[in-house]
Amino acid sequence: PAVQDSSAVGTGVVWAVGATGLLGFEFTVVGLESPLAGAVLQEYDALTGASTMLLDISSAFAVSPAHAEGLWSGLDSEAQAALAGNLVFATVQTQNHPTGEVRGRLNGFADEPTTTTTTT
């Protein structure tokens, strides 16, 4: 789980880019306790409790430590199924909290950027 006593919050949106096989994403975080160390999209396995990294989005935060956007190419059928099944989490890691200061579930995706999640 994410840090319980952090005041950091975030929002995110993901969307399918037509039938191109691309996934667009945009995330914003504020109130991080320490500098950003990384950010990933992870699939959660409800049977084992384990998570698997699907996409490292750390470089998307390079321009601004509070905002990331980009395209995910090569979205395979397993990742699509995980997104459709609400099994994907965005995790923002900081220097003080390398396992994640902010984490939130992505609640599916659509053809337009309308699916949002608020993370705490």
**Is 24:12 a contact under the CB 8 Å cutoff?**
no
Mean local confidence (pLDDT), 1-19: 77
pTM: predicted TM-score of the whole model, two decimal places:
0.78
Least confident stretch, 34-38, 54-58, 78-82, 94-98: 78-82
116 vs 106: CA distance, rounded Å: 7
pLDDT at 119 over 80: no
Arithmetic mean of pLDDT over the chain: 81
- What is the percent of the chain with per-residue pLDDT over 90, rounded to a whole number? 16
pLDDT band at 1 (very low <50, low <70, confident <90, very high): very low
The type of residue at 39 is A
**Is 40:59 a contact under the CB 8 Å cutoff?**
no
* Predicted pLDDT of residue 116: 52
pLDDT at 10 over 70: yes
Q: How many other CB atoms are found less than 10 A from the CB of residue 110? A: 11
**Is 88:105 a contact under the CB 8 Å cutoff?**
yes
pLDDT band at 4 (very low <50, low <70, confident <90, very high): low
The type of residue at 97 is H
73 vs 95: CA distance, rounded Å: 28
